[in-house]
Structure 1
Amino acid sequence: MPTLHFVNSRQCKGGKLIASPLTVDVNGVIIPNSPLPQDVLEVDLKNAIVSPGFLELQINGALGFHFASYKDPESYEANVRTLAQYLPSTGVTGFYATVPTVPDHIFHSVLPLLKPKDAPEAASVLGAHVEGPFLSPYKKGAHDAGNLYVPADTSLEAIYGKANLIQSVRLVTVAPELKGAMELIKALRINYDIQVSMGHSAATLEEGMQAMEAGAKLLTHCFNAMNPLHHREPGLVGLIAAKNPPFFSIIADSIHIHPRVVSLAYRSSPNHCILITDSIELSGLPDGVHPGHAQIPWNQVKAGNKVTIENTDTLTGTCIGLDECVRNLMTWTGISIAEAVRCVTENVAEAMNLHDRGRLEVGHRADFVLLGDDGIVKETWILGKRIV
């Protein structure tokens, strides 16, 4: 592959559209626009909008496969590959495979298969986001209460496995009010350099502040599975209005959160807002009743993007794509496309300390998305090669 010099483009940088060429070397890495090497191929993007490849912080599955569903290593890895090949159609070039509250043996089986990994013509697995089992039973949502743990009663190594903590786990969601949670957060940060998010929690604002002092850096699907914002006790949600707020993820599907609340959260700190899908394995499947899995041992009902446990109003997730979340944010807030894509690119990279993704900068991977002015994905490129 020759060096590619993309011209006539509008690049999303820092929430603004910047007219600038983009040059990608033979290894798929962004290099300076000058001087250009001799064997360069010019590509006219015809004034297209170029965004960094989208980064998905929380996805449970798609196309009938859930990261909690394990039979054997071969079929599991095959399903991960299929999902990774599907995601670029939604603009996603890297994702954190989310494993919810499951029995210990499932963690020990699947986490070794979710190490950070690149694959040809597919989104990269960036590691695992383990959403549990250190969650509040009062805010468990669709998580199985029988598999929840109090941090003081066990250890990280017993639940996940030491090798998996080192090699696979990159983000853990924890309820900070649980006994032993502060020590657990410190151990994750200091011993393993794993990021910590607060979620599925009834914590007070004060408990959230203590967790941030211990090293927690994010909020998991803000507003959902946590105490509602109250003017006298704002709870974890109140953290997003702090001088130095945590990064907070939002499911912008109009099912989990009202559009006005999404707008309110975004405007509290645009450079800390992260859009996630929290999409489950029913994404890409027809509407109707579908079976559960290791996390949810009950039938699920899919109606459009909305999925609930059969005969209840309990949400188990959504089936929305990350590109649709971006378009929703644009519509609900009136912000520009360059501002919206920060919430699936630069903000994610900052939250997760990613140094080679999420920005259109020299030295970064040439993972990018061509978008229409309406936010529709036109093309997705990974390491300088068109995938979609």
Structure 2
Amino acid sequence: MAKVKTFINGQVCVHGQALNQSVYVDEQTGLIIQQPGQRPSDFVDLNGRFLAPAYLELQTNGCAGIHFTTFKDPQSYREGLRKVSCHLVTKGVGAFYVTLPTVHREVFAKALPYLRPQTFGGGADLLGCHCEGPWLNPAKKGAHDDKLMLIPAETSTEDVFGGTESMQAIKLITLAPELEGSQALIERLSQRENVVVCIGHSNADFETGLAALGAGARVLTHVFNAMDPLHHRSPGLAGLIASPQAPYFSLIGDGIHLHPAVLTMAFRSQPRKCILITDSIEMAGLPDGIYPGHAQIPHPQKKEGNRVTIDGTETLIGSCSSIDECVRNLSKWSGCSLPEAVLCATENIVNMLGDVSRGVIEPGRRADFVVMDDQGQVLQTWIKGVQVYNRS
């Protein structure tokens, strides 16, 4: 007879609401089940705290001193991934996608074979890679190296990433839809390669954005950042979030990349399409100071709190926020409930990806949970019904 673990006396975050109900987990499979016929063998008393699906980290370039473009050898790269995995569960993350920015083809070729979906004992699962580039617009390069940016019409995925082994790791690609050959590439990636196409680092207009969505693009990458600003007569890509064909869209919720009022406006326009990301870099979780560059940023980097710039400039490189912090920020700034904010780091993401294995607390899905207090502070993280983090 299967052993059943029951989570009781909690506020369970389901579809943006807090429900007073018990959650049952088959300890053998690590899946959520219906209320069993036999008496559960193990109880977890939540004492009125929130139980939510474990967060998904859709866009991270690194954290805890690890940047994913730094590849010395297979063993150290795997150890770096493990370190990140174990760090992320302390932030309530159950699964993550590694982001590789615009880098030399040699870096893609070295790193991608090690970024295929995999698990780490006691840590968050790696679900694959999000390639942010190299088909981006140099005019909206942000912290990317414009000398490495390519034109879709002049290159192929094989040229850039390598063969089958590399492509098996790639689950999302961000590109600029106005570049020559982008429409054909979007169709190929979304229809034949089963890759989620995101659009960003672009100065495309609204109409070009609509055409990209028609070709199969599904997501806007960090809306308002690295794209033309929203204008009342020329809405650009940002205007797509309020259109009848609204895509999913990601927002960096650190209060640096976006003003809280802008974050709130975007969230309120389409709460079920809004996705929170950190766009974190390797200095997340490290002290403030000056840090060396790497394969993406060949310049010293300056960390001040969650803000990181190329030293001596105002160019933002990425964020040092964590996804739980972004969830708390959204709830505080927009006035939405904590369960509503949780949607943007869980259910909305798996709905965009078509992933029915996780991200929602319902029978048949993985028992990946985060336990929080009423302020959204992470207290515990559970992976497949096993506690992997406990803030004592």
TM-score by length of 1: 0.98
Deviation at 1:166, TM superposition (A): 4.0
Deviation (angstroms), 1:34 = 3.1
The offset of 1:39, in angstroms, is: 5.9
Question: For residue 31 of structure 2, what is the aligned residue in structure 1?
Answer: 29
8 Å CA contact 2:109–2:166 kept in 1: the answer is no
2:291 is matched with 290
What is the CA-CA distance between 1:119 and the residue it aligns to? 1.6
| Displacement of 1:47 | 1.7
What is the match of residue 369 of structure 1?
A: 370
What is the match of residue 360 of structure 1?
A: 361
Please tell me the residue identity of whatever aligns with 1:311: G
Partner of 1:174: 175
Stretch moving more, 186-195 or 155-164: 155-164
Amino acid of the structure 1 residue aligned with 2:278? T
Q: Distance in 2 between matches of 1:226 and 1:39?
A: 53
1:162-197 Cα shifts (integer Å, max 9, x gaps): 314541000000100000000111110112100000
- Greater alpha carbon shift after TM alignment, 331-340 vs 18-27: 18-27
1:10, CA displacement in angstroms? 1.3
The residue that corresponds to 1:79 in the other structure is 80
The 3-state SS of whatever aligns with 1:87 is: helix
Task: Determine the C-alpha separation between the residues in 1 that align with 2:320 and 2:165.
Answer: 28
Deviation at 1:7, TM superposition (A): 1.3
Within-5 A mapping of 1:122-133: 122-133=123-134
RMSD: 1.1
Change (3 A) 1:199 1:74: same
CA distance in 1, matches of 2:22, 2:40: 17
Runs of at least 5 residues in structure 1 that lack an aligned partner in the other structure: none
Counterpart in the other structure of 2:97: 96
Tell me the residue number matched to 1:350.
351
Once residues 362 and 37 of structure 2 are traced to their aligned partners in structure 1, the CA distance between those partners, rounded to angstroms, is 16
1:256 aligns to what? Answer: 257
Task: Find the aligned partners of 2:231 and 2:42 in 1 and give their Cα distance.
Answer: 57
- Secondary structure of 2:331's partner? helix
Aligned pair count? 387
2:217 equivalent in structure 1: 216
**In structure 1, what is the equivalent of residue 384 of structure 2?**
383
Counterpart-to-counterpart distance in 2, 1:63 and 1:364: 29
1:128: Cα distance to partner? 0.1
Report how far residue 386 of structure 1 moved: 0.6
CA distance in 2, matches of 1:39, 1:259: 44
Bigger mean CA offset, 175-184 vs 163-172: 163-172
For residue 221 of structure 1, report the CA deviation from its aligned partner: 0.5
Alignment partner, residue 107 of structure 1: 108
SS of equivalent residue, structure 1 residue 80? helix
Partners of 2:344 and 2:37 in 1: how far apart? Answer: 33
Q: State the SS of the aligned residue for 1:257.
A: coil
C-alpha deviation, 1:46, in angstroms: 1.5
Corresponding position of 2:9 = 8
* Deviation (angstroms), 1:331: 0.7
Runs of 4+ in 1 over 2 A off after TM superposition: none
- Percent identity between matched residues is 48
Runs (5+) with no aligned partner, structure 2: none
- The answer for the alignment partner of 1:160 in structure 2 is 161
- Give the deviation of 1:120 after TM superposition: 1.2
Tell me the equivalent position of 1:18. Answer: 19
SS of the counterpart of 2:244?
Answer: coil
TM-score (norm 2): 0.97
Matched, 1:240 2:256: no
Preserved contact between residue 165 and residue 192 of structure 1 (Cα < 8 Å):
no
**Contact map agreement 2:6 2:40 (CA 8 A) in 1:** no
2:274 — aligned with what? 273
In 1, the alpha carbon distance for the partners of 2:85 and 2:354 equals: 22
